Amino acid sequence: MTKPNILFIMSDDHASHAMSCYGSRINQTPNLDRIAREGMRFDNCFCTNSLCEPSRAGILTGTYNHVNGVTTIGAHLDNRLENVAKILQRDGYQTAIVGKWHLGQGTDHWPTGFDYWNILQGQGPYFDPEMVRNGEKVQYSGYTTDLITDLSLDWLKGRDRERPFFLMYHHKAPHRHWEPDDKHAQLYEDVDIPEPPTFDDDYSNRAHAAREARMRVADDLNELDLKQPVPEGLNAAEEKSWKYQRYIKDYLRCVASIDDNVGRVLDYLEEEGGAVEDTIVIYTSDQGFFLGDHGWYDKRFMYEESLRMPFIIRYPREIEAGSVCEEMMLNVDFAPTWLDCAGIDIPDHMQGRSCRPLLNGETPGDWQQGIYYRYWMHLSHHNVAAHYGVRTHRYKLIYYYGDACGQPNAIDERRDPEWELFDLQEDPCELNSVYGDPAYCEVASDLTRKLHELQEKLGDQRHETDTE
């Protein structure tokens, strides 16, 4: 068989509702849309923990965070663990990672399994980054989104054409503090970006966790985020709207730069000829993001905007152009999918499953009908209580167990445990928990059972207070 090249493009915090192929109301992403138009769009791709490092660890290892150990930010990846790059490399692939790594620094945490790696340190800056290239620090000048693309293209151009490649091309954008380059600085200057329907959410009819979170556009954006003083004389509602425009425009400007740069890479593959048919191109982001939804920025919650990952994939050999998949897929399923497409056995320790049948338009009879999620970093950074839960196609059950559980960088302060249950068909914006509603009694107990079954299957521990 022909081993496919794998070009994995990942940005940081790019929510699917800021991509026009997902029906964005607020921006256009013509180059990303090319991947969807020529390939498949997944409408139900989810992360297992909506945070940078944990999601990245899940993607690389094909395991959940309680297994790979990267439960929180700062719980760095032990690079002796098996990962998908090592497996592909042993199979004869040329492997590289360029851009954001964010799984730790130093010899215990730097990338392993990559012939070439050139990574930002931590989050990395938007301009003039000092990067680490195969263990050596190198100072670059320029806009980081452009640089990461230039370095990726250089590697692609210099590769051995006789062997397949695996490239992780990872943008730092559009992560906070959303700093656009000059080219896009004036974009949206004269327009008002529409506010989302849940912009003025009052956090009633749910657990306390949403109300207590500190990620409000109105109150929690700082000077680095806003970059301008708040104009005087605005009332509270006007000030909130002004802050939203400041935030969302810079965010979308950073996205526009990613879109341009992805277009450059797609052009290169097409101009080179022959590489398109044999290359799997994926665009995703490490998690979703609140774009003013619920009055918030940031992520962490198991709510839809943050749980959902964009995932579009082009592979002309196996995928029908313009197709859409509604089945549930997880970040831990990526690595098994790549191995399957490369004709490599999926190791038993990987907990994800290959989505290759879905790419071919076939759904296995026993495909997952519910997914398990866990956010571990109790109260740190944005005061979001630790929680776990299950999401099916129609429902979502969340348990805020409210405990740091000894995890690194989690705040060791208990909160009263709380449950939430959402009927996504009746309440797609998740504004009204029906947990405790007698009409949903049976649904709640079915989901609770499913949650505990998933925990048992995946080897995660139920919290001691979870006695349902």
Let me know the angle formed at the C-alpha of 95 by 92 and 100, rounded to the nearest 5 degrees: 165
| Burial class of residue 83, CB neighbours in 10 A (0-12, 13-18, 19+) | buried
User: DSSP readout, 99-133?
Assistant: E---S--STTTS--S-SEEEEESTT--SBS-EEEE
Contact (Cβ atoms closer than 8 angstroms) between residue 71 and residue 376:
yes
Interacting residues with Ca ion between 82 and 121 (CB under 5 A):
none
Q: Which range touches Ca ion (CB under 5 A), out of 84-92, 140-148, 280-288, 456-464? A: 280-288
Strand segments, DSSP code E, in 12-68 are 40-42, 45-46
User: What's the closest the beta carbon of residue 267 comes to Ca ion, in angstroms?
Assistant: 27
Residue 286 interacts with Ca ion (CB under 5 A)? yes
User: What's the closest the beta carbon of residue 272 comes to Ca ion, in angstroms?
Assistant: 31
Residue 298 interacts with Ca ion (CB under 5 A)? no
User: What's the closest the beta carbon of residue 349 comes to Ca ion, in angstroms?
Assistant: 25
Nearer to Ca ion, 301 or 395 (CB): 301
Beta strand pairing call for 5-11 and 279-285: parallel
CA dihedral 403, 405, 408, 414 (to 10 degrees): 20
Q: Which range touches Ca ion (CB under 5 A), out of 5-13, 130-138, 140-148, 321-329? A: 5-13
User: What's the closest the beta carbon of residue 376 comes to Ca ion, in angstroms?
Assistant: 15
Q: Which range touches Ca ion (CB under 5 A), out of 10-18, 81-89, 223-231, 306-314? A: 10-18
Q: Per the structure block, which two tokens stand in for 333?
A: 């399923």
Paired with 6 in beta bridges are 166, 280
Nearer to Ca ion, 155 or 289 (CB): 289
Residue 13 interacts with Ca ion (CB under 5 A)? yes
Strand segments, DSSP code E, in 214-298 are 279-285
User: Among 3, 5, 12, 313, which residue interacts with Ca ion (rule: CB under 5 A)?
Assistant: 12
- Cα–Cα dist 56/73, whole Å: 11
Q: Which range touches Ca ion (CB under 5 A), out of 30-38, 267-275, 286-294, 459-467? A: 286-294
CA distances from 75 to 72, 84, 102, 185 (A): 5, 20, 11, 35
Nearer to Ca ion, 52 or 302 (CB): 52
Q: Per the structure block, which two tokens stand in for 144?
A: 């980081």
User: What's the closest the beta carbon of residue 32 comes to Ca ion, in angstroms?
Assistant: 17
The number of residues that bind Ca ion (CB under 5 A) is 4
Q: Which range touches Ca ion (CB under 5 A), out of 118-126, 209-217, 282-290, 397-405? A: 282-290
Nearer to Ca ion, 51 or 266 (CB): 51
User: What's the closest the beta carbon of residue 50 comes to Ca ion, in angstroms?
Assistant: 8
Q: Which range touches Ca ion (CB under 5 A), out of 46-54, 187-195, 225-233, 344-352? A: 46-54
Nearer to Ca ion, 13 or 420 (CB): 13
Beta strand pairing call for 370-375 and 387-392: antiparallel
Smallest Cα–Cα separation from 356: which of 330, 372, 334, 328?
334
Residue with smallest beta-carbon separation from Ca ion: 52
- Cα–Cα dist 244/403, whole Å: 32
User: Among 52, 148, 207, 266, which residue interacts with Ca ion (rule: CB under 5 A)?
Assistant: 52
Nearer to Ca ion, 259 or 286 (CB): 286
Compute the residue count for the chain: 468
- Cα–Cα dist 3/246, whole Å: 46
- Burial pattern 194-221, b for ≥16 Cβ within 10 A else e, equals ebbebbebebeebbebbeebebbbbebb
- Cα–Cα dist 48/204, whole Å: 26
User: What's the closest the beta carbon of residue 333 comes to Ca ion, in angstroms?
Assistant: 18
User: What's the closest the beta carbon of residue 55 comes to Ca ion, in angstroms?
Assistant: 7
Residue 53 interacts with Ca ion (CB under 5 A)? no
User: What's the closest the beta carbon of residue 297 comes to Ca ion, in angstroms?
Assistant: 12
Token match 């995928």: residue? 319
User: What's the closest the beta carbon of residue 334 comes to Ca ion, in angstroms?
Assistant: 15
Residue 403 interacts with Ca ion (CB under 5 A)? no
Nearer to Ca ion, 294 or 299 (CB): 299
User: What's the closest the beta carbon of residue 13 comes to Ca ion, in angstroms?
Assistant: 4
Contact (Cβ atoms closer than 8 angstroms) between residue 441 and residue 214:
no
User: What's the closest the beta carbon of residue 167 comes to Ca ion, in angstroms?
Assistant: 20
Nearer to Ca ion, 288 or 352 (CB): 288
Contact (Cβ atoms closer than 8 angstroms) between residue 423 and residue 440:
yes
Q: Which range touches Ca ion (CB under 5 A), out of 95-103, 164-172, 283-291, 416-424? A: 283-291
Binding site for Ca ion (CB under 5 A): 12-13, 52, 286
